[in-house]
Structure 1
Amino acid sequence: MQRFIRKTVLAAGVFFAAQSAFADDLVTILELAMRNDPALRQAQAQLRSGQQQLTLARASLLPQANASVSEQRQSTGPAGDISYTSLDASSRRYSLGINQSLLNMPNWYSYQGAKEADKARLYNFQAQEQDLIIRVASAYFNVLRAIDDLTTRRQEEEAAQRQFERTRQREEVGLVAITEVYEAQAVYDLARNNTILAEDTLASRYEALEAITGQPHPNIDILREDFPVMEADGNIEEWVQEALNNNPQLLAARAGVEAQTMIAKARRADRLPTVNLQGGYSHSETNSGQGADGSVRSIGAIEGVSVTLSVSVPLFSGYAVTARKEQAEYDLVAQQESANLARRQITQDIRNAYRRVNTDALVIAQRQQAIISAEAALNAIEAGYEVGTRNIVDVLQARQQLFVALRNYSDARYNYVVDTLQLKRTAGVLTPQDIIDLNQWLSDQPATAQ
C-alpha cells in the first residue's frame, strides 16, 4: 500500500510539475508532504522499529551458536626470584556450542502472534498515509476557504465604506438624519474589524499548510466553478460493507485480536514440556611445565564432541505461569472488545460520512439559490431606499445577507470536497488517485485574496 502511494504520488508530481513548473497544486503539495511531513516520517520509523519484533520472535526458533577461546598461563618459582622466560604451565581451550529448539510451543505461538502484530502495524501505517491525504487536502482547501472569506470581507468592507461616505454626504445636504450616518459607520467599523480577523486567519491557514510540507505555498491553484457536485455513489449499506472490509484501522484491530489470541495460546503452553537439541565441540591443550631436571613433564591435547537431547518439564514457579496465563486471557478479552468498539465506531462514521456528502450536495444547490435571492432582494431594497420606501438599515442588512450567502456557498463547496475524501478514507479506499482526479478540477490561476 505505502509503495503504491509513493510511486503514484511521485509520478503524478513529476507530470504536473512538467506542465506547470511554478504551480502549487494539490498533487505537488501532497508529494512534498509524503517526503517531509514529520508525523508520517515518525510513523514510518516506528513501523520499522516495530518490525524488528518479528525478527526477535523468530530468533527463538532458530539455532543458537556460540564459540569461546580461553588461554591460561602459570609461572612458579622462589619468592623474589620469579623468572618469566620459561613458563611452568599453560593451557588453551577452544569450544563451539549449538542449541536448537525442537519443541517449544510458547515460542512458536509467540512467533505467530508477532506475525499478526506486524500486520497490525502495517495496517496502522496505511491509516497514517490515508490520514496524511486528508490533512493535506483539508489544509489546502482551508487556505482557499480563508482566501474566499477574506475576499468577501474586503468587498463587504468596501461596500460599507461607500455606503457610509454616501450616507454622510446625504446627511450634509439634509436628505437623511444623522442616525443613518451612525448606523452606516457602525456597519463599516464592523466590516473593517472582520477584514482584519480574516487576514490573520488566512496567515494561520498558510502556516498550517507549510507545517505539513516544510515549505511555504504563497500561491495555490483554485477550485474551478464547474467542479461537479453529486451525491455519493451506491447506497449507505454498500459503503458500510466497504468500510468493514477495507478500513485499515479496523483491519489493524482484527489483526491485534489474532496476535493476542496467539499470545494467550503461548501462555497456556507454558505448562508443556520443551525439547532442545544441543551439540558441542571442544579442543584443549595442556603443557604441565618443566621437571626438576629441566625436562618437559607432559603435553596433552583433548578433543571432544557432545550431543545432548534435553527435555524440560515445568512443575511449579510460584503461580507465575498461572498469573501470566490469566493476564493474557484478560488482555485477549480487552482486545476483542476494542475491535468490537472499532467496528461500531467505523460503522457509525461511514454512515455519517455518507449522509454528510449527500447533504453537502443539497446544501450547495440551495446556497447557490440563496445568492440569487439575496442579490434580487438587495437590488429591490436599494431601489426602495432611493425612493424613500426603505431605510438605511434595510439596505445594510440586505447587503450583509448577500455576503453571508457568498461565504456560505464557498464553505459548502470546500466542505463537499473534503467530506468526499473523508468518506473514502473511512471506507479505506482513499488513494492518491483520488487526489490526482481532484487536481484536474483546479485552475492553474493562483488564488489570491482581492
Structure 2
Amino acid sequence: MSKTSLLLSIAMMSTTCVAQQPPKPLPDAPPPRLLAQTTPPPAGSQPNAPAAPTPSPNGPRLTLAEAEKIALAHNPNVSIAHLLQLASAQVTRETRASELPLADADITAVAAHDNSRLTAGALNNPVVYDRAAAGLTVRQLITDFGRTHNLIKNSQSNSKAQLENERATLADITLAVDQAFYQALTAQQILKVAQQTVKTRQATGEQIGALTKQSLRSTLDLSLANVQVSQARLLVLDAQNSAQAGMAELNAILGSDAYQQYDLVDETPHSPQAAPANTEELVRLALRARPDLAALHDQALGARQFASAEHDLTRPTISALAAAGGTPVRADQIQSSWYGAAGANISIPLFNGFAYSARAKEADLRAQAASERVRNLQDIVARDVRRDVLNAQIAFQRIGVSQQLLDQANNALELAQARYQVGLSGIADLTQAQLAQTQAEIGYANARYTYQTALAELRFQTGQ
C-alpha cells in the first residue's frame, strides 16, 4: 500500500471512530498524542513563546453565605443605616416631651440699692428687693387640640420608615455581595480556562515543533502555533486582571480596607432549577415585601400627619403653670418666708401674617408629593420584577444552549486534532477549533453565573 492510500484510509477511520480511539501514527513520525491532553513543555522550550504566567496562590475559602454574613457585619453602610434608625427613634422621644410636665429649679439671690426702682426697659414690675430664694416651676401642656399628638405620630412614622430603610440597606448589601461574588467567581473560572488554554496550545506547539524537525509540517504551522500560544497568554493576562478587579470589588463590599485573596467556593448547581414563570404573583409579592416601598409608605403617612399638625397651628393652646419656693433671706418688705402660685393660660392665635396658612398649604403639597413618590416606586418595582423574571428565564435558557455549544466545540476540536495529525487539514482548521472551544468554555461559565446573578437580583426585587 502506498503512503497516500494509507493516509486516506486512516482519515476515514478517524472521522468515524475518533471518539472511541486515537488516530494511528504517521509513518516515520513519533507516536502522536491527543493535542488537548499532552503535557506542556517546560518554560522556555517553545520557540518564540514566553513563559506562562504563574497563577497566584489561593487564599482562605469563602462561600457565598459567609460573604453575605461578613458584609452585613462589617460594611459601613449597614452601620450608617442602623445609627440613623436609632437617631430617628430619639426624635419621637423629643416630640413626646411636649406632652410631659416641664420642671425647672430656680435659685435666686439679689442685692438691691435702697429705695431703687427699674425705670427703663420693657414693661415689668419695677420693685427690686434684697432676697435669697429657691423654688420650683412646673409647666404642663393641657391641650393644643391635636397638634402635638399629630407631631408624635409623624415622628413615629418617620422612625418606622427609617427602620424599613435599614432593611432596604441590608438587602442592597446582600445583592451587592451576590453580584460581586459571582463576578469574581466568573473571573476565576475564566482564568482557569485561560491557563488550561495556554497548556493545551503549548502542547500543540511542542508536537508541531517535533513534526517540523522531521519535515512533516511546515515552519508556517509552527509560527501559527506560536501565535496561538501568545494569544492564549494575553487571554491569561486579561483574565488575571479581571480576577483581581473582581476580588477588589468583593473586598470593598465585605468592608475590608485591605486586599484579601479568597478561594471562592463554587456551590452553583450544574443543573439549576428553571427560572420562575409566575410574573404577576412575584409583582404582588414585591409590592407587599419591598422594604424601600414600605419606607415610602411610612414617609407618606408621616407627611399627612405633619400636614394635620400644621393645620392645628390655628387652634388655641391651653397650658398650666405652678411655682412654689422659700425665701429664707429677704427684705422687710417681703412678709412671707415662702411663696406659691398656680394658673392657667389660653393662647389664641389671631394673626401672624398668614404664616400658619402657608405652612399648612406647604405641608399638604409635600404630602401629595410623598404619595406620588409611592405610586412612582410601585410602577418601577412592577417593571423591574417583570424585567428580571425575563432576564432570569433567558439566562436559564442560555445555560442549556451554552452547554450544547461546549459539547459541539469539544467534538469539533477532537475531530480537528485527528484530521490535522493525519494531514487532512491545515493549522487554520485546528486553531479555529481551539478558539471555538475556548470561547465555548468561557461562554458556559458566564451563562452559569449570570443565571445565579439574575436569581439574586430577582430575590432583591421581590423583597426576599
Please, what TM-score do these two structures have when normalized by structure 2?
A: 0.77
1:126 and 1:270, CA in 2 relative to 1: closer, same or farther beyond 3 A?
Answer: same
What amino acid maps onto 1:94 in structure 2?
Answer: A
Q: Is the 8 A contact 2:313 2:356 kept in 1?
A: yes
Which residue of 396, 409, 419 maps to 2:444? 409
Deviates more, 1:170-179 or 1:318-327: 170-179
**CA distance, structure 2, for counterparts of residue 61 and residue 225 of structure 1:** 57
**CA distance, structure 1, for counterparts of residue 89 and residue 270 of structure 2:** 43
What amino acid maps onto 1:340 in structure 2?
Answer: R
- Would you say 1:37 and 2:75 are equivalent positions? yes
- Would you say 1:243 and 2:286 are equivalent positions? yes
2:373 aligns with: 338
Which residue of 84, 87, 92 maps to 1:46? 84
**CA distance, structure 2, for counterparts of residue 224 and residue 46 of structure 1:** 36
Q: Is the 8 A contact 1:209 1:217 kept in 2?
A: no
Q: Is the 8 A contact 1:121 1:252 kept in 2?
A: yes
What amino acid maps onto 2:274 in structure 1?
Answer: E
**CA distance, structure 1, for counterparts of residue 230 and residue 310 of structure 2:** 72
2:153 aligns with: 112
**CA distance, structure 2, for counterparts of residue 298 and residue 52 of structure 1:** 48
1:377 aligns with: 412
Deviates more, 1:177-186 or 1:320-329: 177-186
Deviations 1:402-432 (A, max 9, x none): 1111122112222222322221221112xxx
Q: Is the 8 A contact 1:149 1:407 kept in 2?
A: yes
Deviations 1:48-100 (A, max 9, x none): 22222222221222222212111234699xxxxxxxxxxxx951122222222
What amino acid maps onto 1:41 in structure 2?
Answer: S
**CA distance, structure 2, for counterparts of residue 103 and residue 228 of structure 1:** 67
| Equivalent residues, number | 388
The correspondence of residues 176-195 of structure 1 with structure 2, limited to 5 A, is 176-195=217-236
What amino acid maps onto 2:98 in structure 1?
Answer: S
Q: Is the 8 A contact 2:282 2:462 kept in 1?
A: yes
Deviation at 1:264, TM superposition (A): 1.3
The DSSP-based 3-state class of the residue aligned with 1:184 is helix
**CA distance, structure 2, for counterparts of residue 299 and residue 250 of structure 1:** 66
**CA distance, structure 1, for counterparts of residue 271 and residue 103 of structure 2:** 66
The correspondence of residues 6-405 of structure 1 with structure 2, limited to 5 A, is 23-73=61-111, 90-104=130-144, 105-211=146-252, 212-214=254-256, 218-224=261-267, 226-233=269-276, 235-288=278-331, 300-405=335-440
**CA distance, structure 2, for counterparts of residue 266 and residue 98 of structure 1:** 25
> Whose Rg is larger?
2
Q: CA RMSD in A?
A: 2.5
**CA distance, structure 1, for counterparts of residue 160 and residue 459 of structure 2:** 22
What amino acid maps onto 2:154 in structure 1?
Answer: G
Deviation at 1:243, TM superposition (A): 0.3
What amino acid maps onto 1:322 in structure 2?
Answer: S
Greater helix proportion: 1
- Identity between Structure 1 and Structure 2 (%): 22
Q: Is the 8 A contact 1:230 1:358 kept in 2?
A: no
**CA distance, structure 2, for counterparts of residue 191 and residue 301 of structure 1:** 103
Q: In structure 1, list runs of 5 or more residues that go unmatched.
A: 1-21, 77-88, 289-296, 430-450
Q: Is the 8 A contact 2:277 2:389 kept in 1?
A: no
Please, what TM-score do these two structures have when normalized by structure 1?
A: 0.79
Deviates more, 1:250-259 or 1:127-136: 127-136
Deviation at 1:369, TM superposition (A): 1.4
Deviations 1:284-318 (A, max 9, x none): 34443xxxxxxxx6774343332222221212222
Q: Is the 8 A contact 2:276 2:393 kept in 1?
A: no
1:447 aligns with: none
What amino acid maps onto 2:456 in structure 1?
Answer: L
